[in-house]
């Protein structure tokens, strides 16, 4: 659900603008989640005292930054915005800039017939000034006049036509938010234009922190006043503390990586040190661009995969990496999309599927055998060229993160995602074709590795099922 925050520009005990926001929040709760923010504890702005330590100011900025959009309800004092509203914007445009790129809808209530029209016009000018940089919805003004008699004893607007008009403007604002969001999205015309240097910030990019800083996570968290430890995070269907989120993600059966739509590598579940991982990651890589964590020779291939996911050519790219007698590691790259279907990055899962296969075979009393009717398999069928592999090869390079912990000038360079050297990846591409389900090649049997130097002899076994590679016995 769309998350908005509402701020009334009045600090009086009784505020019709606050009542208006409360009505919008209550009446349209099925459409939007609106959190009302209190500004009574915000001190008078003094640039000399803006040292980033005032908790009320930091908390207000944190809530604005975390919202999809902002609703401001302004009274009109002497043909302009009240001092309390202007004071908030001063705080939010000096050292903190949570309004930058944020869609804003202005409403207002007044005692008389003007309905805060002058104040709304002035507030739009203020919000669009340098340093604030909000994106204010033009036109579609909601001006509630004669506010003293507009509400009933339950705080609801009495006039049905007024409620209907308010609903129509809210829907326009939700559409406006979608338009602004899509305008912010990177739009490469082809795979070659994919910005692997992460030089085109999106609305979730943390500005002002060097992506190559080994302490990017810590510094970005400080700059954004990110929740941590016991702070709660409201999710779609749950409420977890940050600690609980970390425990949850770090206990996953596979290794997870998140690269955002700006092609910035921003997260992995740190459940083991690099040498013990299937796809090695190091803490200092978080924050780097995808170009910065890839060997230079594979960047063009990475662009092709990302472009295919971004443009919807596919939502999933999967491919095998390490293969051995007791290991078959798979990489799954899934496009992540928001509620507007905008591409928001790639979710990579790295997992060894052999324990699952072994358990299944033991539980069912079956074994892997050669399938004489198997057809050549490509993990990227229909997307030939995305990794630079032919439709009859088994790519061994990681197409999404491929993060190298050594750098591009080292011999037999290790791809930190597949843990396979470039030379090994080439050899893997020459290996017998791998059956996608069983992990057995057309020239191997009984779970022998697809790239084994000497294929195992074919066992005497019942006829194999052509789909799974397992016998019917």
d(CA 249, CA 166): 42
- Residues 348-370: b if buried by 16+ CB within 10 A, e if exposed: bbbbbbbeebeeebeeeebbbbb
What is the model's pLDDT at position 14?
A: 85
Q: Which stretch of 83-92, 181-190, 424-433 has the lowest confidence by average pLDDT? A: 424-433
Q: Residues 76-101: pLDDT tens digits?
A: 898 899 999 999 999 999 999 999 99
Q: Which residue has the higher pLDDT, 314 or 387?
A: 314
**pLDDT band per the 50, 70, 90 thresholds, residue 377:** low
Q: How far apart are CA 386 and CA 315, in angstroms?
A: 13
Mean pLDDT for the stretch of residues 171-185: 91
Nearest one of 209, 203, 174, 213 to 102, comparing CA atoms: 203
Q: pLDDT tens digits for 113-163?
A: 777 889 999 999 999 999 999 999 998 889 998 999 999 999 999 999 999
Q: What is the pLDDT of residues 215-269, one digit of tens each?
A: 999 999 988 888 899 999 988 889 999 999 999 999 999 999 999 999 999 999 9
Lowest mean pLDDT among 98-107, 108-117, 164-173, 348-357: 108-117
pLDDT above 60: residue 395: no
230 contacts: CB under 8 Å, gap ≥ 6: 241, 242, 243
DSSP 239: E
pLDDT averaged over every residue in the chain: 81
78 Cβ contact list (under 8 Å, min separation 6)? none
Instruction: Considering the chain, tell me which residue range(s) the CATH 3.40.50.360 domain(s) occupy.
Output: 2-184
Say yes or no: domain 252-429 is CATH 3.20.110.20.
Answer: no
pLDDT at 279 over 50: yes
Q: Which CATH superfamily is domain 2-184 in?
A: Flavodoxin domain (3.40.50.360)
Q: What percent of the chain has pLDDT over 90?
A: 59
Residue 348 has a pLDDT of 94
Lowest mean pLDDT among 26-35, 93-102, 116-125, 445-454: 445-454
For position 53, what pLDDT does the model report?
Answer: 86
Beta bridge partners of 257: 268, 348
């Amino acid at each position: 659900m769309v998350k908005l925050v509402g701020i009334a520009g009045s600090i009086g005990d009784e505020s019709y603008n606050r009542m208006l926001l409360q009505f919008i929040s209550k009446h349209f709760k099925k459409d939007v989640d609106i959190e009302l923010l209190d500004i009574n504890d915000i001190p008078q702005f003094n640039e000399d005292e803006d040292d980033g330590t005032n908790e009320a100011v930091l908390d207000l900025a944190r809530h604005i930054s975390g919202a999809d959009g902002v609703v401001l309800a302004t009274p009109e004092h002497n043909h302009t915005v009240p001092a309390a509203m202007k004071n908030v914007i001063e705080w939010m445009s000096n050292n903190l800039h949570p309004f930058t790129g944020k869609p804003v809808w202005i409403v207002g209530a007044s005692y008389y017939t003007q309905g805060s029209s002058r104040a709304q016009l002035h507030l739009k000018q203020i919000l669009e000034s340098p340093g604030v940089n909000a994106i204010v919805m033009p036109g579609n003004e909601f001006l509630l006049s004669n506010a003293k008699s507009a509400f009933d004893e339950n705080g609801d607007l009495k006039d049905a036509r007024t409620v209907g008009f308010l609903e129509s403007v809210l829907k326009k604002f939700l559409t406006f938010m979608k338009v602004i969001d899509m305008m912010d999205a990177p739009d490469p015309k082809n795979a070659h234009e994919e910005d692997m240097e992460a030089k085109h910030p999106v609305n979730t990019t943390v500005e002002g922190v060097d992506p190559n800083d080994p302490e990017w996570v810590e510094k970005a968290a400080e700059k954004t006043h990110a929740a941590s430890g016991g702070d709660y995070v409201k999710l779609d269907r749950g409420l977890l503390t940050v600690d609980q989120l970390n425990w949850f993600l770090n206990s996953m059966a596979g290794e997870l990586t998140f690269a955002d739509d700006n092609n910035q590598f921003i997260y992995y579940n740190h459940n083991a040190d690099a040498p013990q991982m299937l796809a090695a990651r190091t803490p200092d890589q978080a924050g780097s661009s995808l170009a910065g964590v890839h060997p230079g020779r594979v960047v063009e291939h990475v662009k092709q995969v990302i472009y295919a996911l971004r443009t919807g050519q596919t939502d999933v790219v999967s491919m095998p990496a390490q293969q051995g007698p007791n290991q078959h590691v798979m990489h799954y790259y899934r496009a992540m999309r928001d509620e507007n279907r905008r591409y928001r990055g790639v979710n990579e899962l790295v997992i060894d599927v052999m324990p699952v296969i072994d358990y299944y075979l033991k539980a069912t009393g079956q074994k892997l055998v050669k399938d004489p009717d198997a057809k050549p398999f490509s993990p990227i069928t229909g997307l030939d060229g995305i990794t630079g592999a032919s439709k009859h090869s088994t790519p061994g390079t990681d197409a999404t993160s491929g993060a190298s912990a050594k750098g591009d000038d080292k011999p037999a360079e290790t791809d930190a995602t597949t843990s396979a050297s470039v030379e090994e990846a080439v050899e893997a591409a020459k290996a017998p074709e791998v059956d996608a389900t069983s992990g057995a090649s057309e020239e191997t049997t009984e779970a022998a590795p697809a790239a084994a130097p000497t294929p195992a002899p074919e066992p005497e076994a019942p006829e194999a099922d052509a789909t799974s590679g397992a016998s019917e016995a």
